[in-house]
Amino acid sequence: MSTDIVIGMHAADLPTPVLVVDAAVLRRNLADMAAHTTALGVALRPHWKTTKSAEVARLQLAAGAVGHTVATVAELTALARDVSPSVFLAYPPVGSFRVAAVIEASRTAEVIVGADSLDAVRELSDAATAAGIVIPIRLDIDSGLHRTGMAPEAAVAMARAIATDSGLRLEGVWTHEGHVQAAGADPDERRRRGVRAGETLVAAAEAIRADGHEVTTVSVGSTPGVRSAPTVRGVTEARPGTYANQVAIGTIAPEQVALSVHSRVISTQPAEWAIIDAGIKAMSSDGTMHGDGRIGTVVSAGGGVVSTGHEEHGFLRGADDPRVGDIVRIRPNHACGAVNMHRRIVVVEDDVVTGLWPVLARH
């Protein structure tokens, strides 16, 4: 048996732990999201921090995405070179390394930058002016997550300042309505939060327009909010990343998740747990979205959860009679963190390996 992964290998022979994407589910998710945003009449600009795969980025573009969203300049550089025509850096361009990356990437793609203060764009403005280019800017509006983002009332003042800046141009406004997820399993509250986020953003755009500035893009972004925030009249763009990260709160079915980590049981214990070879270096340790802190949920026969992990050891609890050597497939709690732990994604179709996709821009 080969010690490395080759095309045509059966999934049961894969070395573990390994990150696997089900190609058929992925294709369906890409098509569904493209159809959803098309039906709403908004542009689709997926967040690429989830997959970090050029192959997925190209499939998203083929399905109608206008470009991509990124969080890091490593992601920006990887996409702008020859993968995506338009990249939105939804992260303040603070620090010379970020500024240099934005200027460089602007040579090969449209690069739009998000920020919530003039301080955050000052160095970028100087560098753009020196390079003889103008960088499109989106104002980051806090619609309730309370992470970055300015109060909507502050947006007009920043728009005015950008209007007089030779290196920058106001392109739009954006928000990340991640607080929709925190509404948990209550669909009405999730919808209320999503709609409120969209309305807050549209109101900020209207205030800026009333002050005499052009606002082209009004961009909301999250998977839990994608069924509500972009339905608000005036929103022009949606930025889901995971496409399917809400099994725990019941908005999607387990079979809609394309990503899994395959592992093997390596030790059984007299107590109520077994040990698998996928720990936090295979899944990340982010258990925050569940409330109960689990880092993964078993999706193969036998069931159970990965309650916690050491680096190369996962604690499998609640499984039905686990035996050493059993293959256990796990849905990681946080897909983005899990992907960043691996150097490649193994593409599987009907239990056979059909592709190996490098994970790019891992820092």
Ligand X SMILES: Cc1ncc(COP(=O)(O)O)c(C=O)c1O
Residues that bind ligand X (CB under 6 A): 47, 69, 90, 176, 178, 221-224, 239-242, 245
Give least dist CB 311 to ligand X, A: 25
CB of residue 338 to ligand X, shortest distance in Å: 13
Could you tell me the smallest distance in angstroms from the CB atom of residue 200 to ligand X?
15
Q: Which is nearer to ligand X, 90 or 265 (CB)?
A: 90
The least CB distance from residue 205 to ligand X, in Å, is 17
The residue among 115 and 353 lying less far from ligand X, judged by its C-beta, is 115
CA distances from 101 to 111, 119, 139, 140, 295 (A): 10, 18, 20, 20, 34
Smallest distance from ligand X to CB 245, Å: 6
Distant-in-sequence, close-in-space partners of 282: CB < 8 Å, separation ≥ 6 = 17, 19, 261, 263, 309, 312, 314, 338, 341, 342
**Shortest distance (Å) from residue 340 CB to ligand X:** 13
CB 52, CB 75: distance < 8 Å: yes
| Phi, psi (deg, nearest 5) at residue 101 | -65, -40
φ, ψ at 22 (rounded to 5°): -85, 110
Q: Which is nearer to ligand X, 223 or 263 (CB)?
A: 223
Write the DSSP assignment of 118-130 as a string of letters: HHHHHHHHHHHHH
User: Closer CB to ligand X, residue 114 or residue 314?
Assistant: 114
What's the closest the beta carbon of residue 152 comes to ligand X, in angstroms?
Answer: 17
Cβ–Cβ < 8 Å for 294, 285: no
* Closer to ligand X by Cβ: residue 142 or 165: 142
DSSP string, 300-342: STT--EEEEE-SS-EEEES-SS--TT-EEEEEES-HHHHHTT-
Distance CA 150, CA 343 (A): 36
For residue 29, the minimal CB distance to ligand X (Å) is: 11
**Min CB(90)–ligand X separation in Å:** 4
Cα gap 14→115, rounded to integer Å: 43
Three-state DSSP class for residue 89: strand
DSSP string, 230-294: GGSTT--EE--SSS---TTTTSS-GGG--EEEEEEEEEE-SSSEEEES--HHHH-S--TTTSS--
Give 11 or 42: the residue with its C-beta nearer to ligand X: 42
Residue 245 contacts residue 335 (beta carbons within 8 Å): yes
328 bridge partner residues: 263
User: In this complex, which beta carbon is closest to ligand X, that of residue 75 or of residue 165?
Assistant: 75
Identity of the residue, 242 or 284, whose beta carbon is nearer to ligand X in the bound complex: 242
Pull the structure tokens for residue 89.
């850096």
Of 212 and 291, CB closest to ligand X: 291
